[in-house]
A and B are shown apart, each in its own frame.
Chain A
């Protein structure tokens, strides 16, 4: 691979959810994205329940086809605010649940940190995409959320599934549907 291919394109593409196969195919590792539309939060506990429902052939609490899951658990909103701080959590903990969700139509995931080999392969197989948001920038990211509503598993508190409406949510493509991994590529570059 030529060195020039490793340098990400700094001009972000604007995308809206739900994502189509064609939109996903056009994304490459390192590409900046500004995402708008609905995304659903889910962390460890919510993933365990979602996958349990799939295994029992029960309907999921939202139509997952073409949708994007954000691995996040926000802080409570102060009065007058839409949401509290809302940055990404470590994605790797969700790896054990992810292939089953991709198989039923999940198209995108937002988090931080590397995915397992199994998930990277499933992303290719199901034409999906894994984005990173900047970890620890939850205050800044909260300004791109215009609506927030708990739609399932309210008893889980911050781990409940929240339906967020986001505008120009800043992301970077980590794993694209051709098997490229921006974490691996980025670390091989040298900055002296």
Chain B
């Protein structure tokens, strides 16, 4: 058993919140630059130029990439040979969020109840997904998720006979319906199979995969290529102002499912595809 002090988790999560909100991941930055070369629409090119400059300004002036510094989504992989000491794991993560959002001058965007809507003023609680894995480390991914793109995400329980065509139709419909709202060019995560909630979590994990890396399963990799093509044929374009580049990537994650089911969840991630992974 390896002991990890809760205070270490707090400190590292706090730092990760600040970094995630101000430093655009290199793969996303490079994808924006490639999109700038591919785009034909004059207004689309203007938008992509702004987004590239925006990422540079955020980094050099230590100001958040986007004013929506998100709901703090946290994925935790806990090695089964690890014991957290000196406090609870969830408390340690939330304390880190509290610290990071205050010290990093990030926006506090969480309300305590969906109906009474009183701001908690420290961006807690985070939404935390945990998994037990082999080993003696804790791996934490902090992914602030903006409301504009999350609001346009969707899930549907298709029937098995709808198959691949049904999946493509649903993803394209979701992107078209979202238009300008989720801040395209998007990173699209598609969760396929499992159950309603399994598909949704897979769609979130899919968004975190590095841009340009295909799924290792050839069936899913093929679907990713077809989906990217179909989404970019919609003409939604950068900022929804028309153009070729509606998505920078479509990542698919799949899981076995019931003989009766074909669950599909689509997470739309804005171009500020922020995430930081740390290992303790």
Contact = CB atoms under 8 A, between A and B. Distances in A.
Contact of B66 (A138, A158, A170, A182): A138
Given A132-B180, A135-B270, A186-B237, A8 B54 contact: no
A81 B90 CA distance: 34
A89 interface: yes
Nearest to B183: A135
Contacts, number: 164
Given A89-B148, A90-B151, A139-B63, A191 B242 contact: yes
Q: Which of A132, A137, A187 has the most CB of B within 10 A?
A: A137
A183 B63 contact: no
A159 B147 CA distance: 14
Interface stretch (A18-26, A50-58, A72-80): A72-80
A75 B237 contact: no
B181 to A, nearest CB: 4
A135 B41 contact: no
A92 B243 CA distance: 22
A139 B54 contact: yes
Contacts of B61: 81, 139
B57 to A, nearest CB: 4
Interface in A61-83: 72-78, 81
A85 B43 CA distance: 23
B80 interface: no
Nearest to A190: B235
Contacts of B67: 72-75, 84-87, 89, 138, 158
Nearest to B151: A90
A142 interface: yes
A183 B50 contact: no
Contacts of B106: 75-76
A10 interface: yes
Interface in B238-280: 239-244, 270-272
B218 interface: no
Contacts of B43: 8, 30, 172, 186
A136 B148 CA distance: 10
Contacts of B270: 135-136
Interface string B170-184: 000000000111010
Nearest to A89: B148
A75 B69 contact: yes
B65 interface: yes
A136 B236 contact: no
B119 A75 contact: no
A104 to B, nearest CB: 25
Interface string B49-72: 011011101100111111111000
A114 interface: yes
Nearest to B69: A75
Given A75-B64, A158-B67, 20 more contacts: A73-B107, A74-B107, A77-B105, A78-B63, A84-B64, A85-B63, A87-B66, A89-B148, A112-B181, A132-B239, A134-B50, A135-B180, A136-B54, A136-B65, A138-B67, A140-B54, A158-B107, A183-B240, A191-B40, A191-B237
Interface of B: 39-44, 46-47, 50-51, 53-55, 57-58, 61-69, 105-109, 117, 119, 121, 147-148, 151, 179-181, 183, 234-237, 239-244, 270-272
The 7 closest A-B pairs by CB, nearest first: A186-B242, A135-B183, A191-B40, A139-B58, A113-B181, A85-B64, A140-B54
12 contacts: A72-B67, A77-B105, A84-B64, A114-B179, A114-B180, A134-B50, A139-B55, A157-B121, A172-B241, A182-B241, A186-B241, A187-B237
